[in-house]
Amino acid sequence: MIEYLENGTITSVKGIKAAGVFCGLKKQKKDLALIFSDYLATVGGTFTLNKVKAAPLLISQDIIAKDQKVKAILINSGNANACTGEQGFENAIKTQIFTAEHFSISKDEVLISSTGVIGQQLNVEKIKEGIKSIQLSSELSAGHDAAEAILTTDTFPKSFACKVKLSKGEIRIGGICKGSGMIMPNMATMLAFIATDAEMPKPLVQKLIAEAVNKSFNRISVDGDTSTNDMVVLMANGASSISIIEGDQDYQLFKAALIDLCKKMAMAIVKDGEGATKFISVKVASAKSEIDADSAAKAIVNSPLVKTALYGADANWGRILSAVGNSGINFCPEKVMIKIGDLHLLNPGYDSNFDESIAKEILLKKNVDITVELNEGDASTTWWTCDFSEQYVKINANYRT
Amino acid sequence: MIEYLENGTITSVKGIKAAGVFCGLKKQKKDLALIFSDYLATVGGTFTLNKVKAAPLLISQDIIAKDQKVKAILINSGNANACTGEQGFENAIKTQIFTAEHFSISKDEVLISSTGVIGQQLNVEKIKEGIKSIQLSSELSAGHDAAEAILTTDTFPKSFACKVKLSKGEIRIGGICKGSGMIMPNMATMLAFIATDAEMPKPLVQKLIAEAVNKSFNRISVDGDTSTNDMVVLMANGASSISIIEGDQDYQLFKAALIDLCKKMAMAIVKDGEGATKFISVKVASAKSEIDADSAAKAIVNSPLVKTALYGADANWGRILSAVGNSGINFCPEKVMIKIGDLHLLNPGYDSNFDESIAKEILLKKNVDITVELNEGDASTTWWTCDFSEQYVKINANYRT
């Protein structure tokens, strides 16, 4: 029912134009993106839980809280405009005003977002010139340009789009995102901008994006840190003239598609984790409750010891079990089963007897599935992470310089 | 009033003998230590909070809970005897019995402790032969041998001893410890065995060690993970015939000395953190409460982004502030001051204007002091950590192999 579009991106969605340009915040790579909806869109979003919040994030959060429809999202990379005080706010508002004036829309119809170095004032003039140079287009290439312009230490742009057949016709959902360092549950430095041409009221778009984020972006971790600038935004511009109404079958189909697209985006972010060499899927099953399952999975995906062992292709199940032991959940370690792929590393009763060479073979692959069965109940979850390599340290030791 | 003893170790304490031998659990390094008190000692201890607890740890915890006096602590490295089920328990008890029989004491007078790989059965025969080969001695070299035999990935043994003049005479406190990976507040894989020749009742020894651990070992972090085997034990054997009574001035002196010695040990563990190139002291001042100060400091010392920036000598104060923002405490980011050494990186009002070359110079030193003033209240704390280098990843990627 969900069909992914080849080369799909945010401009795969009806009524969505985009652009990605170089304005000089970075040394030479594209650093300014604009997403533009021909129609006023209802919008929902989720934002970082870090107490330190960047100016553009607070401004966008405020617009979304006010139930304001929007037409544009301006995103710059290279500078986070975080910890920049009053001037940071003024600068953020200036970029919002430039965008509004240049495209003849209202200031409050412009969401803004920044990512990059913390604590440096934004060069507003460069952004102003950048905005002037923007040529909006509904071509796929324009969506991909935007996806490129929002990157920081990411190694590849991330775009997805799908179409979904509903009872009244077809709608589309498309998005771009960036991640890399500081990725961790509850909205770490990651940005995702998603649009759909379905039509839906504000409360519904908010509810849907919150639920989708919870099942996707909130289940990934690169290094356990969370940032000052993270946000996920969903715009619904109604260009398809197909309405989504809470509760019916079309609603279920739309929700499933949105969650699936968000998972695809979240997984792409993990795959591009700083220094990552492997994609790790961690399923925690037969937990007492969903909260327990999530706590255990979160502890595993955040453990540097587990992640370095995976990097070294070392079947060190003791570290996995120890991570669950640190998660704060109540469980009986003796009842735990741990497997990688189909190979049982540990069976209940601390029964561990496996072929190390087969384990090594499984762990040397690019994709590793870890399953932890707690044998305590019926709840389960799956989280995603990457391994932890020397490259992560190298990238982060010299980020500003 | 506290005088550290040159070359001091656990055998600096009156009535304490020790030994460290090779019994074959490791490939060639010493792997079996015994600490022996000529007199029955009252004993207190703190243990890992990990739900997964090693067999020897549970056995020792039980002895300490029972208010049993002890004479010996047997420690092996190379094998953690954790996640080893019934057989692991039986093996642990066997090593306890061997020790008791060989030294003609009661089984319950023997504490046991293990550190090393998780999930493999202990080779009890090797330990038995090792025990037979032990020559106890009160020489300093014997204490240092024991300190060596408890190491895993540590790069140097850690021994300290001090003498304290009390009103009724002089007492001594000495200890050995090990750390390295998985070090994190609330007793991560670290072991510390401390002895004093002062005399004190069981409730007091427990109270004192709990307080000392809270102000020392619980304020260090290498990688945010906690282990299945951690314990800190304090034995008071009364060989000095000087009693400590709660509340008087001698008590205060003793407590201060114990805390100081524990801090020295904790700092040594951090200095030997896996792959560490720098020792970082993090002071959080003017917090609303001690809990807030500790939460903020803990978030900073556990942030991989802060630790990699320190490794790269990058004055990235944004990551420090962002870590505090993730700590869960309530504070106003605009009021924060951050400095390294005496150099202010950030003043209240997001005022950041410093000489990068001076910052670099400070950060290139082996010891870096970070101060974060929240300007919210009167509470303060200091935690210790190390930087995060590629070497950490290398060490942990191939630990078992």
* b/e sequence A3-37, b meaning 16+ C-beta within 10 Å: eebeebbbbbbbbbbbbbbbbebbeeebbbbbbbb
Query: For A235-264, what is each residue's pLDDT tens digit?
Result: 999 999 999 999 899 999 999 999 999 999
pLDDT at A188: 43
CATH topology of domain A279-397: Ubiquitin-like (UB roll) (3.10.20)
- The residue in chain A having the minimum alpha-carbon distance to the alpha carbon of residue B326 is A50
Which residues of chain B register pLDDT less than 50? 182-188, 401
What sign does the CA torsion over A315, A317, A319, A324 have?
Answer: positive
Q: Are A185 and A269 in contact (CB under 8 A)?
A: no
Counting Cα atoms < 13 Å in the Cβ hemisphere of B6 gives 0
- Cα B18 off chain centre by: 19
Please give, rounded to a whole number of angstroms, the shortest distance from the CA of A313 to a CA of chain B. 7
**Dihedral, CA of residue B87, residue B92, residue B93 and residue B95, to nearest 10:** 130
Q: What are phi and psi of B200, to 5 degrees?
A: -160, 150
Residues of chain B with Cβ-Cβ distance to A298 below 8 Å are none
Which residues of chain A register pLDDT less than 50? 182-188, 401
Query: For B258-313, what is each residue's pLDDT tens digit?
Result: 999 999 999 998 888 767 889 999 999 999 999 999 999 999 998 888 888 898 89
Please give, rounded to a whole number of angstroms, the shortest distance from the CA of B153 to a CA of chain A. 14
- d(CA A269, CA A366) in angstroms, rounded, equals 15
Beta-ladder partners of A2: A164
Interface test with B, best of A322, A334, A392, A395 (most B CBs within 10 A): A322
Residues of chain A with Cβ-Cβ distance to B389 below 8 Å are 393, 397
Interface test with B, best of A308, A392, A401 (most B CBs within 10 A): A308
Cα–Cα distances (Å) from B303 to A54, A273, B6, B296, B339, in that order, read: 19, 16, 36, 11, 17
- Cα B386 off chain centre by: 14
From A368, A378, A303, A365, select the one nearest A338 (Cα to Cα).
Answer: A368
Interface test with B, best of A48, A391, A393 (most B CBs within 10 A): A393
First to last CA, chain B: 47
Q: Are A159 and A10 in contact (CB under 8 A)?
A: yes
Cα–Cα distances (Å) from B371 to A204, B285, B287, in that order, read: 46, 7, 12
Beta-ladder partners of B221: B385
Please give, rounded to a whole number of angstroms, the shortest distance from the CA of B80 to a CA of chain A. 10
- d(CA B167, CA B158) in angstroms, rounded, equals 30
Token representation of residue A267: 């997984």
Please give, rounded to a whole number of angstroms, the shortest distance from the CA of A264 to a CA of chain B. 26
CB contact under 8 A, B225 and A322: yes
CB contact under 8 A, B401 and A312: yes
Q: Model ipTM? A: 0.77
CB contact under 8 A, A322 and B397: no
A46, A189, A371, A385: the active-site residue = A189
- Looking at domain B2-271, its CATH class is alpha beta
Token representation of residue A201: 């009221």
Q: Are B217 and B190 in contact (CB under 8 A)?
A: yes
CB contact under 8 A, B303 and A225: yes
Going along B63-219, which residue ranges are E strands?
Answer: 70-79, 110-117, 158-166, 169-178, 191-196
- d(CA A248, CA A242) in angstroms, rounded, equals 13
Q: What single letter denotes the amino acid at residue A113?
A: S
CA angle A49, A53, A57 (to 5 degrees): 100
Please give, rounded to a whole number of angstroms, the shortest distance from the CA of A203 to a CA of chain B. 28
CA angle A300, A306, A312 (to 5 degrees): 150
Beta-ladder partners of B266: none
- Please tell me which of the candidates B321, B323, B396 has its beta carbon nearest to residue A309: B396
- d(CA A13, CA A31) in angstroms, rounded, equals 23
Q: Is residue A277 among the annotated active site residues?
A: no
Token representation of residue A302: 């955040």
CATH topology of domain A2-269: L-amino peptidase D-ALA esterase/amidase (3.60.70)
pLDDT at B180: 63
Residues of chain B with Cβ-Cβ distance to A83 below 8 Å are 318, 321, 333, 346, 350, 352
Token representation of residue A324: 């669950």
CB contact under 8 A, A314 and B84: no
- d(CA A253, CA A165) in angstroms, rounded, equals 8
Task: Specify the 3-state DSSP secondary structure of A129.
Answer: helix
Q: Are A331 and A292 in contact (CB under 8 A)?
A: yes
- The residue in chain B having the minimum alpha-carbon distance to the alpha carbon of residue A305 is B396
pLDDT at A340: 97
Q: What are phi and psi of A103, to 5 degrees?
A: -110, 10
- Please tell me which of the candidates A50, A326, A390 has its beta carbon nearest to residue B225: A326
- Please tell me which of the candidates A318, A333, A390 has its beta carbon nearest to residue B394: A390
CB contact under 8 A, A88 and B322: no
Residues of chain B with Cβ-Cβ distance to A399 below 8 Å are 309, 312, 314, 316
- d(CA B134, CA B132) in angstroms, rounded, equals 6
Token representation of residue B12: 């600096």
Q: Are B152 and B115 in contact (CB under 8 A)?
A: yes
Q: What single letter denotes the amino acid at residue B99?
A: T
CB contact under 8 A, A224 and B225: no
B2-271 and B279-397 have identical folds: no
Q: Are B215 and B32 in contact (CB under 8 A)?
A: no
- The residue in chain B having the minimum alpha-carbon distance to the alpha carbon of residue A300 is B225
Residues of chain A with Cβ-Cβ distance to B300 below 8 Å are none
Question: Active-site residue numbers of B?
Answer: 189
CB contact under 8 A, A119 and B227: no
Token representation of residue B279: 């020792």
- Please tell me which of the candidates B305, B312, B318 has its beta carbon nearest to residue A119: B318
- d(CA B159, CA B11) in angstroms, rounded, equals 10
Please give, rounded to a whole number of angstroms, the shortest distance from the CA of B91 to a CA of chain A. 15
Token representation of residue B201: 């009742």
In chain B, where the domains are located: 2-271, 279-397
Q: What single letter denotes the amino acid at residue A101?
A: E
Classify residue A29 by its DSSP letter.
S
CB contact under 8 A, B119 and A389: no
CB contact under 8 A, A85 and B351: yes
- d(CA B103, CA B237) in angstroms, rounded, equals 17
Please give, rounded to a whole number of angstroms, the shortest distance from the CA of A228 to a CA of chain B. 7
Contact pairs from chain A to chain B, CB under 8 Å: 195
* b/e sequence A185-205, b meaning 16+ C-beta within 10 Å: bbbbbbbbbbbbbbbbebebb
